[in-house]
Structure 1
Amino acid sequence: MTTPTTSNAPTQADGVIDWLTNGTRDERFIDNIFAQMCIRLQQAGIPLKRATLHVQINHPQWLGARMIWSEGMTGAEIARVDYDVRERPEYIGSPASEIIEGATELRENLEQDPSLGRKHAIYGEMRAGGLTDYVAWPLYHTLGKQHVVTFATDRPGGFDDSHITALKKLLPVLALVSEIRVKNRLARTLLETYVGSHAGELILAGATRRGTGTTVRAAIMICDLRDFTKISDNWPRDDVIDLLNDYFDAMSEPIARHGGEILKFIGDGLLAIFPLQHPDACADLLHAVTEARQAMTALNERNSGTGRAPLNYGIGVHVGDVMYGNIGSSSRLDFTVIGPAVNMASRLEALTKQLGRPVLLSRDFAELVQPKFELERVGQHAVRGFSDPIELFAYHG
């Protein structure tokens, strides 16, 4: 199996290259493009049996993704790749690791005696699957970003020279097409990560002008950790970061699960909304609070095993109209909510410590969830910044 020098002569991939260049403009997802490309290569006479595309995304929870296509599939199977993959046996010494570390091509004759070839479990798996030849190349994106594409066949004798020439010829176009989709996905991921999924969609759709926004009616939830200054002053930095991450996981995951949107983390606090365009938004908020409290109880039990004091917190909940949009300086914007309703939720959160109730609800909110939820009336209380006393309710979840 020898690899020839690529020529400018027409190849079996020319029609696929034209399709990649001109026929994929309306397809957002690279996995769909990759699967369709493999099918078209087969139709052009290249005996593909299996192909993979490995891309680095740098999502907060995972490093990248691996797309796998096999003969007979109409789409590609996607598997997430964790950040610790480089420490795992399935990666160390693998074709992907060799390419990422600088190899410009890997070719493996899977028909030869295994003792004569490269030693890695993936080669044994491919042989067991009846594959005869395997090739891997880097896909170069701008600014030094490097990804990996692989092709395999079960054709006796493996790929011939014309097949390799055709596959190599489409690599630059595949790199361009994949880079656009990967960067689109990265932009979407970054926006979802830092401003939330709904705000991210609005920003991608063009809602970027300062001062623009809409008025929405929403249930507002503000949560804050108690005694954080004392903790941060006395604990090692890494322990403080781990604590905050565990605390935010406990609070945030139920909010996302029940349809809320976290708009920002403020030190050791968070601001979330549940838009009332969803009829069960207020109930969803309380379900999220219930699950968050259960998660905090479990977290405190785990922490007590290491001698750490329990974490205390306060949650204030109100409902009302808020302005939802872009606020900030001419060069730095924040996509958030503002208005008296947000201020009220913040004041209620502050009162939780004074009144000894971890979760306080305004009467306006309580009226929307009673009698479905059991609430404790805690009377009328003065709220800083508001002229009249506010009737408050506690929720014990």
Structure 2
Amino acid sequence: MSLQRILFVDDEPNVLRAYDRSLRKFAGGWHLSFETDPLNAWNRIQNESFDTVVSDVRMPGLTGLELLKLVKNDAKVHDLPVIIVTGEADKGLKQQALDMDAADLLNKPVQLEDLVARVRNALRIKGYADQLKESNELLERRVAERTLELEASRVDILWRLWKAAEFRDEETGNHVLRVGSYSRVLARALGKDADFCDTLFLAAPLHDIGKIGVSDAVLLKPGKLNEEEWAEMQTHCEKGVAILSDQARSNFLAAECVDSSIGRAVACRATNPVIEMATVIAATHHEKWDGNGYPNGLSGMDIPLAGRIVAIADVYDALRSRRCYKEPFSRERSLSILREGSGSHFDPNVVDAFFDSFPEIVAIENGLTDDAQEEPIPPCESSTVAGAFSGGCLQTTEISTEMGSTES
């Protein structure tokens, strides 16, 4: 068992020698230290481990109360018990010491029995404080471990949602990961904080979750969509909102399931910021800066930032990827299309952030390639696409329409 360490502070060496002589027979489990300079004492308190301090109140350079204040204001040692030694006449100082959270008071002349009793009591207080601190640290570690487990579980569930959407489309898992990664890069470039960026990274891959509700005949059609099919394709935004919003949870509770353990868990579920942002993205990533997007024709700053960011991330990756209705475009051609859409299709600030961050975009793209080897088609030299989007959702061959087709 380690010795309990006690520091005595008094500017009179004779007093410290008296403490030393008197306590030897009581101090079998104690390690006694002595300081005549209170400033040195404070330095030792900061750099060594003590269990109790016994300090005179009237000392040059630093009084006992000032030393007590330093201890209580320091997060590292604030739980260290400090016993203040005062004279009988120092009633005001005694009250002040107690108000400052002194562990105990000793009157001069100090009686040996009182000294031993007060020190033992202070050591017990320190022991309880140490036990509580250890318990709290253990609890914090367990909470942190559990939080990591829950976070990993949440990401795993999100991944499975991403995969569920992919089974209804020809897009790969790397597509949704690239969209999430691009979106996080753009959010950082726009000055958003870490919480927003990380939430966006997890939420963005769910942008097309509503495609689960679109028929295969429309979703996988290799040719141009007719008007009716295009209308069905556009419903994937609203279907995504229906999947991700709280409406399904409300319906579950309305079914009188709250008496079950699952029902209670649903009823008590805390707000999930990732799902909240994913809902916003599903609803708005096809809106356009000029108001000509869908489903609600929002424009400008009325489109939430998350939706504006994912819009360009999704279109760029769609341009660069092979689909059933097109071959992948070259980077040069894809960038030209994005620049063409700045101020009409896309938020100009987000477009600028994309170009400023393009080295990071390329690094992500190279690190998350699809299994199939893609051969980019040559850059376009005119304002038309020459039918590159002959299928899927393309309605005309103009570049502005071409972007609309890639982001379906």
TM-score by length of 1: 0.31
Answer 1 or 2: which has greater strand percent: 1
Structure with more of its chain in helix, by fraction: 2
User: When the two structures are superposed, what TM-score results if normalisation uses the length of structure 2?
Assistant: 0.30
Largest Rg, 1 or 2: 2
